[in-house]
Amino acid sequence: MHELKLLTKAWLGDEETSFPLPAGWEATIYDAPGAPMLPAAAIGEALARPLGCRRLAETAAGKRSAAIVVDDLTRPTPAGEVIPFILAELHAAGMPDEGIAFVVGVGTHRSVTAEEAARKVGADIAARYPVICHEAFSGDLIGLGNLDDGTPLYLSEVVVRADVRIFITSVIPHSGAGFGGGAKLVLPGVAGYVSTHYNHRQLPKRPRGLLAHASPDDLRDGAVKAARRLGVDMSVNVVCDTRRRIVGVFAGDIEEAHDAACRYGYGVYETPIPKAVAQATDILIIDSYPQDNDTQCFYKSLWPRDYFPNAYHVMINPCTDRIWYHGLTLGMDYARFLRLEAQRPPAPPRPRPPIGQRGQLLTLSEGYPPEEYYKRYPDAVLYTAWQELMDDLARVCPQAKVAVIPCAPLQMIRLE
């Protein structure tokens, strides 16, 4: 194989891009097994038979308002494909359109634009209903006391005051919560900065892909406690394949439905690779799709490096946001960050360092600001042109066995 075809730029075209390889390289793609794409009718069936809670049409009967919370573009969730079925349930219960609002649970990520929100919920939905971006630094959050792990809980006013609360997320491996989605869309999704800071900084983390407790009162447990304190009427957990297509939907209780989605996700994401192959690999190519837009999510695709200790590590991540912002890390809201960025003088050009020893990270990204990249990865090398990266790497490794991980944020390697 002398040319790779990989998906890049999630939410901005989801482009299939060609990546030519040097003639002396022998490449193998290790994709996740996936599952059949779910027909649209199956989404409605999942909502009609929720796990561990009443059907939404029953819960919403007689209620006047609903908040439907979706995740942001750092997650692959095609929420727009699920929302019509949720609206059908609410309308069957007699819920008026004017009582329904959507909230984008960005947590302490950057605010989304109206155009981005429309991509997530669907243009027709965005034109018909209010779509509100959560603000973790808002002064209008509502306090719900302290959880028993000590977390001071402040949540979105829109969500707290709604009669019915529905959360739509995708379930993907997460280094800190085991799996993302579910209760994480409450904390940090619609939580205040102080709540997220306590949850992420004071509670133990759960290793990536782990469903069981790593220790009592870990980060995932804290999120579940926050969701219980709030009261979540339905959690809709989507499992996507490596092309962002829905292959599973699990609706119901905040824990039961999420756990079922995670168990199913194992079969969709787990990728077997022979241990001898991993040891003998000269070059590992990692594609960060579908978490290749937000620059601060870059690290979430680095985990395959641990399985290929004797290889050069090549990362493909366009970082289409072109900025590095995370409110939790920086301790400031996005508007203030933009003001400060506008005042900062441009960084001087930096010469590209040479390729060194195996194990080094070599990144293709037109969007990662070089000064931010080298601040975090001083021993790595940043390229903006694929052919330049290939030419440099072919000089030190003219013959190579190459392993390709085409969807690193979703996949979980199992050495055998």
Residue 128, domain member (yes or no): yes
* pLDDT tens-digit series, residues 257-314: 999 999 999 999 999 999 999 999 999 999 999 999 999 999 999 999 999 999 999 9
Residue 68, domain member (yes or no): yes
Residue finishing a domain among 212, 236, 268: 268
* pLDDT tens-digit series, residues 268-278: 999 999 999 99
* pLDDT tens-digit series, residues 344-366: 998 888 889 999 999 999 999 99
pTM: 0.96
Residue finishing a domain among 221, 247, 268: 268
Q: Tokens 């790595």 sit at which residue?
A: 380
Residue finishing a domain among 233, 248, 268: 268
Q: What pLDDT, on a 0 to 100 scale, did the predictor assign at position 349?
A: 87
Whether residues 158 and 211 fall in one domain: yes
Whether residues 160 and 50 fall in one domain: yes
Position 33, amino acid: P
Whether residues 100 and 15 fall in one domain: no
Asked if pLDDT for residue 251 goes beyond 80, the answer is yes
Residue 35, domain member (yes or no): no
Residue 281, domain member (yes or no): yes
Q: What pLDDT, on a 0 to 100 scale, did the predictor assign at position 211?
A: 84
Q: What pLDDT, on a 0 to 100 scale, did the predictor assign at position 336?
A: 97
Please state, in angstroms and rounded to a whole number, the distance separating the CA atoms of residues 1 and 110.
Answer: 39
What is the residue-averaged pLDDT of the chain? 96
Whether residues 219 and 284 fall in one domain: no
Tokens encoding 327: 């409110």
Q: What pLDDT, on a 0 to 100 scale, did the predictor assign at position 212?
A: 80
Q: What pLDDT, on a 0 to 100 scale, did the predictor assign at position 91?
A: 97
Q: What is the total count of domains within the chain?
A: 2
Whether residues 301 and 252 fall in one domain: no
* pLDDT tens-digit series, residues 107-152: 999 999 999 999 999 999 999 999 999 999 999 999 999 999 999 9
Please give the residue range of the domain that contains residue 146: 40-268
Q: Cβ contacts of residue 268 below 8 Å, gap of 6+?
A: 32, 33, 34, 35, 239, 241, 247, 248, 410
Whether residues 105 and 246 fall in one domain: yes
Angle between helices 40-48 and 79-92 (to 10 degrees): 50
Please state, in angstroms and rounded to a whole number, the distance separating the CA atoms of residues 166 and 70.
Answer: 9
Q: b/e map of 53-63 (b: 16 or more CB within 10 Å)? A: bebbbebbeeb
339 phi/psi in degrees, rounded to 5: -65, -45
Whether residues 217 and 332 fall in one domain: no
Asked if pLDDT for residue 1 goes beyond 70, the answer is no
* pLDDT above 90 coverage of the chain, percent: 96
Whether residues 120 and 196 fall in one domain: yes
Whether residues 23 and 68 fall in one domain: no
Whether residues 262 and 313 fall in one domain: no
Which CATH number characterizes residue 316's domain?
Answer: 3.90.226.30
Which CATH number characterizes residue 99's domain?
Answer: 3.40.50.11440
* pLDDT tens-digit series, residues 182-224: 999 999 999 999 999 999 999 999 999 988 877 778 999 999 9
Whether residues 246 and 289 fall in one domain: no
Whether residues 183 and 56 fall in one domain: yes
The mean per-residue pLDDT over the stretch 67-93 comes to 98
Per the CB < 8 A criterion, the answer to whether 30 and 405 are in contact is yes
* pLDDT tens-digit series, residues 318-329: 999 999 999 999
Residue 71, domain member (yes or no): yes
